Amino acid sequence: LRRPTFFVIPYPYWSHCLCSKTRERINDASLDNQCPHSYETIADKIESSSSLPHWTKENANRHVWILGTEWNLLEGQHQEWSDKIRQSGVVLTQGPTPCKASDKKNPCNVLVHPHLITTSKKYQPRFLAYQQWWKSFNNRPNTVGGVFEPVDQIDEDRLAVRKQFLSKKSLETIGTEIWGKPVVLKTLDQVQTREDVVKVYRDSLFCPVLPGEESPSSLLSSSSSSLLSKQQQLHYRQLLDVILNGCIPVVPLWKRSRSVGVPSFVQKYGVGVPSSYPFARGLPYFGDREAGIDYTVDMVVSYNATCGAPCFKSSIQRVLSNTTELDRLHGNLEKYAKLFTYGLGEEYAYKTMDAFSGLIVTLRHYLRSL
C-alpha cells in the first residue's frame, strides 16, 4: 500500500476547552486569552492509539493539525506548545506563526491559513474575478475609503496608531480630497450592514488598514464572533476584506520586526510580515525565494509609521502619479484575491485556485523539506 502523504487532524481546541469539566474554572473575563488545556492535552491524544491510530514516530511530521480557533502561539502559557509542535507535525493556524526563520534544516511547522471572511456566493473563487468592482476600479468615486471601530471600543494597547490617524491634526493633513476625489472615513456607528462597509471599500482606490483593527464587516455580521485576542488579529481580517473587494490596502510600516531583515505592519519590533499573513514569501517555502506573495511590494502601499498622516498622503499621491504602478497593484489584488477565499460545497469546491489549493502548495514545499 502507498503511504499517505499527510494525516489531517481537525482539532477544535477551543471547543474542547469550553466543553471540558475544567470550563467552570475559567474566568469569563479572560476567555479570549487563556484556556486550561496545555500541550499535555494534545500529547495525550498523540499517545492514544484510539485517537490517532496511524501515529508513529516515523510519520509524526506528516500529521497536519487544524486548530478550531487560534490561541497565542507566540508567547505566554502556550510557549511550550510552540516549542514542541515541531515534534508533532504541522499546524495550520489563523496566525501569526511563532517562526522567525525557516530553511531546510529548520523548517517552519506552523503555517498561516486565510480566515473565512464570508460564504457569500459572489466571493466564491469561481465568481470573484467576474464581479463588477474589479472592472470599475479606475472609475471609483473615492480616492480613500475606510470604516473604523469607534474609539471608545478599541483596546488601549492598539489605540495609539488608530488615535493618531484619526486625530484632528492628521485628518486636516490628509484633507477631504486627494487628486480631486473624496476621502471617506467613517466609524462603525455610521453604517448598518456589512454591505455598507464593503461598499466603502468598493468605491475607493485605497483603504487604510491599521494594526489591531477588527474588520468592521465581521463585527456587523451576526454569525461572526471573534475569540482571537485583539493583538493577535493584527488587522488581518480587515486586510483580507479590503483585498477581496479590490481596494489597495494602505498600511503603516516599521522597518524592524522581531524577525531579522523583514518589516512589520503591526508595531516596531512586532510580528514580521512573513509570520503574519497566508502564503507570504519566505517562511512557508523553505528557502525558495520566488515562491509566495511579497506583501510589502506586491499587495499594499506602505508608509512610514512614525511619520503618520503626511507620509500616508504622500505615499498615495506617489502611486496616483504613476498609472503603471497603480495598475500593477490592482492587478496583483485581482490575481491573488481568490487565494484568500474558499470554494465551499460540491458546486464550488476544487473547481479553481483558492485557499485550499494554496495550502496544498504550501504543504508540498514543507514535504520537500522532510
The model's pLDDT over 124-151, given as tens digits with 9 standing for 90+, comes to 998 998 999 998 898 999 999 999 877 6
Look up the pTM and report it: 0.85
Q: Which amino acid belongs to residue 100?
A: K
The Cα 58–Cα 62 span in angstroms is 9
Query: What is the pLDDT, as a whole number, of residue 212?
Result: 63
Residue 229: the pLDDT is: 39
Triad 201, 203, 207: Cα angle to 5°: 40
Q: Does residue 238 register a pLDDT over 60?
A: yes
Residue 32 reports pLDDT greater than 80: no
Summarised one tens digit per residue, pLDDT across range 48-92 is: 555 677 777 788 888 888 865 544 454 444 455 555 555 667 888
pLDDT band at 41 (very low <50, low <70, confident <90, very high): low
Q: Which is it for strands 181-187 and 177-178: parallel, antiparallel or unpaired?
A: antiparallel
pLDDT at 151: 65
How far apart CA 162 and CA 55 sit, in angstroms, is: 47
How far apart CA 130 and CA 337 sit, in angstroms, is 12
pLDDT, residue 17, reads 60
Residue 307 has pLDDT above 60, yes or no: yes
- pLDDT band at 227, cuts 50/70/90? very low
Look at 129 and 35; give whichever has higher pLDDT: 129
Question: What percent of the chain is modeled with pLDDT above 90?
Answer: 35
Q: Cα(309)–Cα(172) distance, rounded to whole angstroms? A: 9
Distance separating alpha carbons of residues 364 and 91, to the nearest angstrom:
14
Instruction: Kindly tell me if the per-residue pLDDT of 30 is higher than 60.
Output: no
pLDDT in tens, 175-216: 999 999 999 999 888 888 889 999 999 999 999 998 865 555
Q: pLDDT band at 16, cuts 50/70/90? A: low
Check pLDDT > 80 for residue 226: no
User: Residue 58 is placed in which grid cell?
Assistant: 516515523
Q: Report whether 95 contacts 69 (CB < 8 A).
A: no
From the number of C-beta atoms within 10 Å of its C-beta (0-12, 13-18, 19+), residue 202 rates as buried
pLDDT of 152 over the 90 cut: no
Task: Label residue 318 left, alpha or beta by phi (over 0 means left) and psi (-120 to 50 means alpha).
Answer: alpha
For 315-355, how does the pLDDT look when each residue is reduced to its tens digit (9 = 90+)? 999 999 999 999 999 999 999 999 999 998 888 888 889 99
Q: 33 falls in which pLDDT band (50, 70, 90)?
A: very low
153-162, 285-294, 338-347: which range is least confident on average? 153-162
Residue that has been written with the C-alpha cell 457569500 in this structure: 120
Q: How high is the pLDDT of residue 56?
A: 79
Mean pLDDT of the residues in the chain: 79
Written as one letter, the residue type at 136 is S
